């Protein structure tokens, strides 16, 4: 099931209307498009009228000399109509692709602004479908459907008026044919908007299954669950197929009626027109012009189904995209900056609970003071709240109560960009991107020199990148799956070190390293920690010993703060946590 709002916002014209601001930069192009389209419609109406004059004039009078001028006039009008169609399409392509690009840019920027809470509740496939399928639906309607919806209605109206003026009994037949079309269109719109939303949501679900299957392929294969995962994907695909077939059947019924009605109108007009010519109420030229004009309405009427379907898909897509635009970021930056940052980090009576579980606090009354240049290790059992504590520093989450300060300034008052330049974080589960190793390392500092990059790689013991096929320029693949867990952690650590932050947050960053590599990293990291305030989540005694002091986190509260050996001697809970990894000599009571 998709992780979307329980009550879907209604899709309608208002959804597209709210996106009208994206058309403003292209108003001149839209004016040219509209003028070219209206001109083409006018010419398509003028050509049959010239044909009428040609038949009722020179041809009826057997005046050969009069045929050539009118024939050339009809040809010139046809060529001019083709030129106007070309102009419309050329201008239209630039404007519509520009609109889609602008929308895509703002949607991506909005996704970057939204908090971790938002992203944890939305499936990535649903967001992906909005950024691809839904934007394409809006582009198709903006570039084709909207223009032709207006032009076709204009053409239907003008041609019907011309037909009524030319011979009102036949014009009345054409006008009456519009009644069932309007009725059917209204019914079609109500049903189609529902099924269209279901299809687009199920496309998002299917995209999620596909992404999870690709990203988690190692786990799937290692547990022998390929068949199970394939079955889930197949079920989602079948569900989408069934809903899509409902959509196709609904469209097919509507389009069939739209094809039948104008053809029946043509048959009736031919019959009544022939009778009118026989009685002298209608000239042969008028009948030919009438039939030609009527046939020119077949495409606008038959295309109405496609255009209305496109409109409904675009309105649904707009509503789905507006769900993201309408979501207010939980974390908004302030305006303050720190002119001369020192890196003094404090947690003052900090409480924290996740938004979806406000009554289940993860942290309660946390007090912790990290002086500039000091390294503090946070030790605690699984679920004690260590990762939540580290996430509060760069404001991936915000405190529920209390405050976190940097050099005496509440981090909520700081400009977000400024704060995140001062704080660098390396996570236990590092995220690497489908780009080169160099681009991954320099993500937080694009202007870093080769010497700086090499120094960061040495600190993180990530020299293995030089053994890759193209060295630092090797693309490491999506999620860095081509690398081992330890290699990914070391690249992420190099990325954090390269930034040269005032505050370095390491969330169990060395957990995937073997003991030998960890020792090398710790030795090199000691030089970095000497000049940087560091908050280090640790499980191993060897990592804890890098710190100037240790904070024991139990049940969301820091119960003890002190030096490593002091806590080993006086706090049994601390000794028990480190007993499995510490040297027996460091842990009293543990026998080798």
Mean pLDDT of 297-323: 81
Residues 319 and 356 in one domain: no
Residues 315 and 421 in one domain: no
For residue 1, pLDDT over 70 is answered with: no
What pLDDT score does 152 carry? 82
CA–CA–CA angle 323, 419, 369 (5° rounding) = 120
What pLDDT score does 580 carry? 53
Residues 318 and 364 in one domain: no
CATH number of residue 281's parent domain: 1.20.1560.10
Flag whether 335 is in a domain. no
Domain final residue, candidates 291, 325, 359: 325
Flag whether 138 is in a domain. yes
Residues 291 and 426 in one domain: no
For residue 202, pLDDT over 80 is answered with: yes
Residues 280 and 414 in one domain: no
What pLDDT score does 355 carry? 80
The pLDDT tens digits for 517-552 are: 777 777 777 777 778 898 988 877 777 888 889 999
The pLDDT tens digits for 128-153 are: 888 888 888 888 888 778 888 888 88
Q: What is the mean pLDDT of the chain?
A: 83
What are the distances in angstroms from CA 411 to CA 118, 395, 588?
A: 21, 8, 40
Mean pLDDT of 330-353: 91
Name the pLDDT band for 404 (thresholds 50, 70, 90). very high
Residues 246 and 189 in one domain: yes
Q: Is the dihedral of CA 221, 224, 226, 231 positive or negative?
A: negative
Residues 291 and 382 in one domain: no
What pLDDT score does 106 carry? 92
The pLDDT tens digits for 467-525 are: 888 989 988 876 666 788 788 888 888 888 888 889 989 887 776 666 677 777 777 77
Residues 307 and 409 in one domain: no
The pLDDT tens digits for 11-25 are: 678 888 888 888 888
Name the pLDDT band for 218 (thresholds 50, 70, 90). low
Neighbours of 35 (CB within 10 A): 14
Length, in residues, of the chain: 592
User: CB-side exposure of 488: number of CA atoms within 13 Å?
Assistant: 20
Domain final residue, candidates 264, 291, 325: 325
What pLDDT score does 6 carry? 38
Full domain range(s) for residue 573: 345-430+502-586
Q: Is the dihedral of CA 93, 94, 97, 103 positive or negative?
A: negative
What are the distances in angstroms from CA 532 to CA 245, 485, 547, 551, 556?
A: 61, 26, 12, 18, 26
CATH number of residue 546's parent domain: 3.40.50.300
Q: Of residues 225 and 443, which shows the higher confidence score?
A: 443
What pLDDT score does 519 carry? 76
CA 134, CA 149: separation in Å to the nearest integer?
A: 20
Residues 276 and 229 in one domain: yes
Flag whether 73 is in a domain. yes
What pLDDT score does 132 carry? 84
Flag whether 208 is in a domain. yes
User: Of 212-226, 334-348, 419-433, 564-578, which range is least confident?
Assistant: 212-226
Let me know how many helices (H) and strands (E) the chain has, helices first.
21, 10
Longest dimension (CA), the chain: 123
The pLDDT tens digits for 77-112 are: 989 989 998 888 888 888 888 888 899 999 988 988
Name the pLDDT band for 422 (thresholds 50, 70, 90). very high
Residues 96 and 231 in one domain: yes
Listed residue (525, 514, 467, 506) closest to 486, CA to CA: 514
Residues 277 and 408 in one domain: no
Flag whether 274 is in a domain. yes
Q: Of residues 514 and 289, which shows the higher confidence score?
A: 289
CA 276, CA 138: separation in Å to the nearest integer?
A: 47
Q: Of residues 343 and 117, which shows the higher confidence score?
A: 343
Residues 257 and 372 in one domain: no
Name the pLDDT band for 162 (thresholds 50, 70, 90). confident
Neighbours of 8 (CB within 10 A): 15
Name the pLDDT band for 579 (thresholds 50, 70, 90). confident
Flag whether 443 is in a domain. no
For residue 193, pLDDT over 80 is answered with: no
What pLDDT score does 362 carry? 92
Q: Structure tokens of 284? A: 């042969």
Mean pLDDT of 353-368: 89
For residue 9, pLDDT over 60 is answered with: no
Name the pLDDT band for 223 (thresholds 50, 70, 90). low
Mean pLDDT of 48-52: 87
Surface-to-core class of residue 131, CB atoms within 10 Å of its CB (0-12 exposed, 13-18 middle, 19+ buried)? middle
For residue 560, pLDDT over 90 is answered with: yes
Flag whether 447 is in a domain. no
Number of domains in the chain: 2
- Tell me what percent of the residues of the chain surpass a pLDDT of 90: 17
CA–CA–CA angle 259, 136, 321 (5° rounding) = 115
Flag whether 527 is in a domain. yes
For residue 159, pLDDT over 80 is answered with: yes
Q: Of residues 571 and 222, which shows the higher confidence score?
A: 571
Mean pLDDT of 368-394: 91
For residue 568, pLDDT over 50 is answered with: yes
- Tell me what percent of the residues of the chain surpass a pLDDT of 70: 92
Domain final residue, candidates 294, 325, 356: 325
Beta bridge partners of 561: 551
């Amino acid at each position: 099931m998709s992780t979307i709002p329980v009550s879907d916002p209604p899709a309608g014209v208002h959804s597209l209307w709210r996106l009208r601001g994206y058309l403003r930069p292209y108003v001149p192009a839209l004016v040219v498009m509209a003028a070219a389209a209206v001109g083409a419609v006018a010419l398509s109406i003028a050509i049959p009228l010239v044909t009428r004059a040609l038949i009722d004039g020179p041809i009826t009078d057997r005046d050969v000399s009069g045929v050539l001028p009118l024939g050339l006039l009809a040809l010139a009008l046809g060529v001019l109509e083709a030129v106007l169609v070309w102009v419309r399409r050329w201008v239209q392509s630039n404007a519509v692709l520009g609109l889609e690009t602008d929308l895509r840019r703002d949607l991506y920027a909005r996704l970057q602004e939204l908090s971790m809470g938002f992203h944890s509740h939305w499936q990535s496939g649903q967001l992906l479908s909005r950024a691809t399928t839904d934007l394409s639906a809006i582009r198709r309607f903006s570039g084709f459907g909207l223009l032709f919806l207006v032009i076709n209605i204009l053409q239907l109206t003008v041609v019907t008026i011309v037909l009524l003026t030319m011979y009102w009994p036949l014009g009345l037949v054409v006008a009456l044919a519009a009644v069932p079309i309007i009725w059917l269109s209204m019914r079609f719109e109500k049903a189609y908007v529902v099924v269209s939303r279901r299809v687009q949501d199920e496309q998002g679900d299917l995209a999620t299954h596909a992404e999870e299957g690709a990203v988690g392929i190692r786990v799937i294969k290692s547990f022998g669950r390929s068949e199970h995962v394939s079955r889930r994907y197949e079920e989602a695909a079948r569900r989408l197929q069934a809903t899509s077939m409902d959509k196709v059947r609904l469209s097919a019924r509507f389009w069939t009626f739209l094809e039948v009605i104008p053809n029946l109108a043509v048959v009736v007009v031919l019959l009544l027109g022939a009778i009118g010519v026989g009685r002298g109420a209608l000239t042969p030229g008028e009948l030919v012009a009438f039939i030609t004009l009527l046939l020119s309405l077949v495409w606008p009427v038959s295309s109405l189904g496609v255009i209305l379907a496109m409109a409904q898909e675009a309105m649904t897509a707009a509503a789905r995209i507006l769900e993201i635009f309408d979501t207010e970021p939980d974390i908004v930056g302030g305006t303050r900056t720190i002119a001369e940052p020192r890196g003094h980090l404090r947690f003052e009576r900090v409480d924290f609970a996740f938004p979806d579980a406000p009554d289940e606090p993860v942290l309660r009354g946390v007090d912790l003071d990290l002086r500039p240049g000091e390294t503090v290790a946070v030790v605690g059992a699984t679920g004690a709240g260590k990762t939540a504590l580290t996430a509060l520093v760069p404001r991936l989450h915000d405190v529920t109560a209390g405050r976190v300060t940097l050099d005496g300034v509440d981090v909520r008052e700081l400009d977000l960009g400024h704060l995140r330049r001062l704080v660098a974080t390396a996570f236990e589960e590092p995220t690497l991107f489908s780009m080169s190793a160099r681009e991954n390392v320099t993500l937080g500092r694009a202007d870093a020199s080769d010497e700086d990059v090499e120094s960061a790689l040495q600190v993180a013991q990530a020299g293995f990148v030089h053994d890759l096929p193209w060295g630092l320029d090797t693309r490491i693949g999506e999620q860095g799956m081509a690398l081992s867990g330890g290699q990914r952690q070391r690249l992420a650590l190099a990325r954090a070190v390269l930034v040269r932050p005032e505050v370095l947050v390491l969330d169990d960053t060395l957990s995937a390293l073997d003991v030998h590599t960890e020792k090398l990293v710790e030795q090199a990291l000691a030089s970095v920690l000497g000049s940087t305030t560091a908050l280090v989540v640790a499980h191993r005694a060897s990592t804890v010993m890098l710190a100037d002091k240790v904070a024991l986190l139990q049940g969301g509260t820091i119960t003890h703060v002190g030096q490593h050996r002091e806590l080993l001697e006086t706090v049994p809970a601390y000794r028990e946590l480190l007993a499995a990894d510490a040297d027996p000599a460091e842990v009293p009571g543990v026998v080798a």
